[in-house]
Amino acid sequence: MRTVKKAQLLRLHFCESDQYNGKPLYEAIVDLCRELKIAGATVFRGLEGYGETAEIHRHRLIRKDQPIVVTIVDTPENLGRLIPEVEEMMDTGMIATSEVEYVRIEKPPAAGA
Amino acid sequence: MLQKGTAKKVTIFVNEDTQHHFGSLFDAILEFLLHKGVSGATATRAIAGFGAHQVMHTTKIEILTEHLPIRIEFIESAQKVDEIMPTLYDMVTDGVIEVQDTNVVKVANKEHPSPPKGPHTEMKGTARLMRIYMGESDKWMEEPLYEAVVKRLRLMEIAGATVYRGILGYGAKGHTHKSSWFSRDLPIMISVVDSEEKLAAAITEIESMMQDGIIVLSDVDVIRLVHSRPAAESSHANG
């Protein structure tokens, strides 16, 4: 049974070395998403990149400072609750949203395995 | 040039020692097919068999090893088969010619690539971006789901797919995807760009393979599309 629904995709760009209350920012954001009952969140680590400070983010021997992208898909209302809080937590970085359609796949575990 | 899709498969059974203009018939047939530009033909010698003469030919008994059956097979477009069939019919003085409809799934040729296929190149301007989210430990028929999905997309001639592995995440299943010393179940995202119709077909296929997950679609503008095969090479292949 396919249900195509409208939703929003939120992408947060920042770097791996960003911290929030002593833990990595991306962990803090994922925890926050759980608290706010956001449908899901996925953290990706980029290989290399640069942002507004024009500092190249890449993996160095001692300091890990690669770019991080967090992607979240949920309704505009839920993201509306999330975005102000995330903005508070991020020092530098970028928040991008786009309109998407989504298909949620959920089958009983036994079927066709 | 043989193309993907419907085609004809021709099988010819002859005797190894049937003569044709002072040479063996199967050699003559193969040479004729080569001369006519048939994409490929294979002759195989059987180990045993009998034909219209009702005499068993087998390699087991030396006296019967003469007249062993030879089977020549080739696949070509219906048009090409029609073109060469009259001559083949004339050549095979003793044997059987059989034609059947077939479906060519893949034509891969490293040295002479087939001309670029239409659907990829027609895509200009706007397209659809599909993101498929799943877990790294998800399986399909005992192989990693993301590998199975990429293979399937390739079979469907979707323009391209990229698999990303996340470092942390959670979804509707509720459990956190993260890497530990004992297990590894990181989030996986596959991103695919192609036309709306092709993605619609792909979604149906992927949905049947996935147990759990989410597919996200959005409209995107495509700025550049690189052909998988340069134009110069394909014209060379045609010539």
pLDDT: is B89 or B181 the higher one? B89
pLDDT digits (tens, 9 = 90+) for B46-89: 888 888 878 888 877 777 667 788 999 999 999 999 999 999 99
**Alpha helical stretches, state H, A8-75:** 25-35
Give the per-residue pLDDT at A62. 61
Give the per-residue pLDDT at B174. 67
- Spell out which residues of chain B touch residue A34, defining contact as CB-CB under 8 Å: 170
* B1 three-state secondary structure: coil
CB contact at 8 A, B190 and B131: yes
pLDDT digits (tens, 9 = 90+) for B110-127: 765 555 555 555 556 788
Residue B143 reports pLDDT greater than 80: yes
Task: Place A109 in a pLDDT band, splitting at 50, 70 and 90.
Answer: low
Give the per-residue pLDDT at B235. 40
Task: Place A86 in a pLDDT band, splitting at 50, 70 and 90.
Answer: very high
Rounded distance between C-alpha atoms, residue B190 and residue B203, angstroms: 12
Give the per-residue pLDDT at B229. 46
Residue B97 reports pLDDT greater than 80: yes
Rounded distance between C-alpha atoms, residue B121 and residue B119, angstroms: 6
Residue A63 reports pLDDT greater than 80: no
Residue B98 reports pLDDT greater than 60: yes
Residue B163 reports pLDDT greater than 80: yes
pLDDT digits (tens, 9 = 90+) for B2-48: 888 899 999 999 988 888 888 889 999 999 999 998 988 999 988 88
pLDDT digits (tens, 9 = 90+) for B200-238: 999 999 999 998 889 999 998 887 655 554 444 444 444
Contact B169/A42, CB-based, under 8 Å? yes
Contact B214/A101, CB-based, under 8 Å? no
Q: Interhelix angle for B25-35 vs B78-91, to 10°?
A: 150
- Chain B stretch 133-172, residues whose beta carbon is closer than 8 A to a beta carbon of chain A: 133, 164-172
Q: How many CB atoms lie within 10 A of CB B53?
A: 10
Rounded distance between C-alpha atoms, residue B206 and residue B145, angstroms: 10
What six digits make up the tokens of A107? 């089958």
Of the given ranges (A68-82, B130-144, B169-183), which has the lowest mean pLDDT? B169-183
Q: How many CB atoms lie within 10 A of CB A42?
A: 26
**Alpha helical stretches, state H, B92-195:** 118-122, 145-155
- Spell out which residues of chain B touch residue A107, defining contact as CB-CB under 8 Å: 210-212
- Spell out which residues of chain B touch residue A68, defining contact as CB-CB under 8 Å: 167
